[in-house]
Amino acid sequence: MQKSILIELTKTPKTKPDQNNLGFGHYFSDHMFIMNYSTEKGWYDPRIIPYAPLELEPSTMVFHYGQIIFEGLKAYRTEDGRVLLFRPDKNMERINRSNERLCIPPFDPGFGVEAIKTIVSVDKEWVPDQEGTSLYIRPFIIPTDPYLGVRPSNTYQFIIILCPVGAYYPEGINPVKIYVETRYVRAVKGGVGYAKTPGNYAASLKAQVEANQKGFTQVLWLDGVEKKYVEEVGTMNVFFKIKGEVITPSLEDSILAGITRDSALQLLKTWGVPIRERKISIQEIYDAHSQGTLEEAFGTGTAAVISPIGELSWDGRRISINQGEIGKVSAELYRTITGIQKGVLKDDPGWTVEVK
C-alpha cells in the first residue's frame, strides 16, 4: 500500500458553524480523505482533498446492493487545546471484520489510523471546544463498479468525512423510555448484525418510527428467532445491573461489538464490579424488577457514551428502573469515559491518541 497521503488544501474555507447549535450530523469540515481500491492495484492513491460532492454513475453498485460498511468515532478538544482520539485502532480493526462479512477487501488498520490522524490534523480547527462538543469522524467504504448484478464489486472508495457535533445531552444526562420490540427484528443469526453496515440501520427504521410515535426514544431489540433474549438497544449495546452484578449480552453474530461496550467492561473489571457476558432474557429482567433486584440499565455507544434507561415497555407492561433516575454505575462510567476522552482524567488504560 502506498503510504504517503497527498494533501490538496481548499482555496475556499467555510465559515464554521455556531458551537451552541451544532446538533448532530449537520455540518461538515473543509476536507475529506479518499483512497481507491482496484483488484490490480489494491488500495491506492490516499489523498486529502476539499470536501465536495462525489461524481458517480447512477449504475454504481453503491446505489443498488448495499455492499457498504462504515465506522464512527470522535476527536475531543482538551482544556489545554490538544486534540485526542479515543481508541481509533479498535474502529479500524472492526472495519476489517465488517469488510470480511461484506466481501470487501481488507485494508491495513494501522494505515487507517494514520489516515484519521492526518485528516483530523488538517481540519484541527474544526474540533470544537465547548462543553460536550466533539468532532465526529465517519469513515466508510463504498463499492464503485458501474455494474448491475449481485456480486462483490471490484473497485471501492474508502472515504473519511468530519462533522463537528454538539453535546448529546444539552439538558444533562436523562434516562430514556425504551420500547421492547416484539414484532420487527434487527438482525438474525448468520446475518450481518455484527458488521457495521447500513442494511442493519435500514432494517431498524420502521420499528424506530413506530416506537417514537408511541412516545419512546428507542427500541430494545430481542433475538430474531425466539424474540426472547435481549440483543441491543437502538444502535447501542445494552447493560443491566441485577443484584450487584453487571450483565451484558454475550457477542453473538447478531450483535455489534461496541468499543464503548468493551471500554465499560474493562473499567468495571478494574473497579472490581462483578460482570457477566451471557444470554439474558427479557423475562429475567422483568422478574428481577418484580423481585426488586433490577438496579440499573443503560446503553453504550460512541454518540451518547452512556445512555441510562429509565423505563421499559414490553407487551404492554411498563416498568420503571431506579425510579427513572441515572444509576451510580452508569454515572461513574459516563464520568470516567468522558473524562478520559477529554483529557480531564488520567488515561490509565492508554485509550487516547493525540493528533498533532
Ligand X SMILES: *Cc1c(COP(=O)(O)O)cnc(C)c1O
Binding site for ligand X (CB under 6 A): 72, 196, 200, 232, 235-237, 256, 258-261, 300-302
CB of 196 to ligand X, least distance (A): 5
CB of 256 to ligand X, least distance (A): 4
Which residue type occupies 7?
A: I
CB 255 to ligand X: min, Å: 8
- Cβ 222 to ligand X, closest distance in Å? 14
In whole angstroms, how close is the CB of 80 to ligand X at the nearest point? Answer: 26
In the numeric block, which cell numbers belong to residue 216? 419512546
Task: Indicate the residue among 126 and 221 with the shorter CB distance to ligand X.
Answer: 221
Q: How far is the CB of 300 from ligand X (least distance, A)?
A: 6
Cα–Cα distance for residue pair 63/66, rounded to 1 Å: 7
Min dist. Cβ of residue 342 to ligand X (A): 17
Single-letter residue type at 162: L
3-state SS class at 331: helix
3-state secondary structure 242-291: ECCEEEECCCCCCCCCCHHHHHHHHHHHHCCCCEEECCCEHHHHHHHHHC
Q: For 263, list phi and psi in degrees, rounded to 5.
A: -65, -40
**Residues 129, 188: Cα–Cα separation, whole Å:** 41
Measure the CA–CA gap between 182 and 65, rounded to whole angstroms: 28
C-alpha cell of 144?
A: 464503485
5 or 265, CB closer to ligand X?
265
State how far the Cα of 76 lies from the Cα of 86, in Å rounded to an integer. 8
For ligand X, the closer of residues 138 and 227 by Cβ is: 138
- For cell 427500541, the residue is 219
Identify whether the C-beta of residue 237 lies closer than 8 Å to the C-beta of residue 252.
Answer: no
Q: Among residues 35 and 264, whose Cβ is nearest to ligand X?
A: 264
- Distance of closest approach, residue 328 Cβ to ligand X, in angstroms: 21
Nearer Cβ to ligand X (48/165): 165
- How far apart, in whole angstroms, are the C-alpha atoms of residue 157 and residue 143? 7
Which residue carries 463499492 as its cell?
143
